[in-house]
Amino acid sequence: MKTSFFIVSFFALGCMAGYFVDRLEWLADSGLSMWALALLMFLVGISMGRDREIISKMSRLDKRITLLPVITVAGTLAGAFVASLLLDRWSAQDCATAASGLGYYSLASILVSEYRGAALGAVTLLANLLRELLSMLFIPMLVKCCGPLSPEAVSGAASIDTTLPVIVQCTGSEFAVVALCHGFVCTLLVPLLISFFCAL
């Protein structure tokens, strides 16, 4: 938990730097974050490749775990419905559209802004950004209280990249493949779900 707070504090530092220092904009536009992500994947790959027993650990996993993306989407939509009861400003359709980003804030916010306007687009960006940050923060706690599948479900599409190292550290390398497949399916589902809810 301490490490997660330390990690997330870098996001807050970045926010302050981006807000107060105009000259840093080139860093955000430079594509450096994509190369940092590639390096992260390379390092995660090394830590997985070093584990001699990863294949046998994976073969012991239940095949029904592959249905996890369905659980994630169903849970997310149920949560969106609950949120629509608490938020007067947004309908159940609005909440379902914004939550369909599944943590993939960049693509989701662009799609929602295009179809449903800037206000819901901003909510989509913030909600999915928060989902990624908060899941990174709560993964160690979630593994203890909700089992090894909860970090993947809570991270959504981010389980394929940014939250993957934290998931591997907390659940073990055998769940890395679960997180990767889950993140991949969720990433593919994001544009489909958003288009569906926008067309309703």
Partner 1 sequence: MWLIFGSLAAGLLVGAAWRSPKFSSLLSPAITANICIMLFLLGIETGGNDQVMSQAGELGMDALVLCLCAMACSAAGALAWWRFIRSDRRRKA
92 near partner 1, judged by CB under 8 A? no
Residues 152-171 close enough to bind partner 1 by CB under 8 A: 152-154, 156, 160-162, 165-166, 169
Q: Which is nearer to partner 1, 19 or 199 (CB)?
A: 19
The sign one gets for the Cα dihedral 58, 60, 61, 64 is: positive
Residues 1-30 close enough to bind partner 1 by CB under 8 A: 3, 6-8, 10-20, 22, 24-25, 27-28
| Rounded Cα gap, residues 16 and 54, in angstroms | 41
The sign one gets for the Cα dihedral 118, 101, 133, 51 is: negative
Q: Which of 2, 89, 144, 199 binds partner 1 (CB under 8 A)?
A: 89
Residues 120-159 close enough to bind partner 1 by CB under 8 A: 122-123, 125-131, 133-136, 138, 142, 146-150, 152-154, 156
Rg (CA), the chain: 17
Alpha helices, H only, the chain: 2-20, 25-29, 32-49, 54-59, 68-86, 92-99, 105-116, 118-146, 150-155, 164-171, 174-199
Residues 59-88 close enough to bind partner 1 by CB under 8 A: 62, 64-65, 67-68, 71-72, 74-76, 78-80, 82-83, 86-87
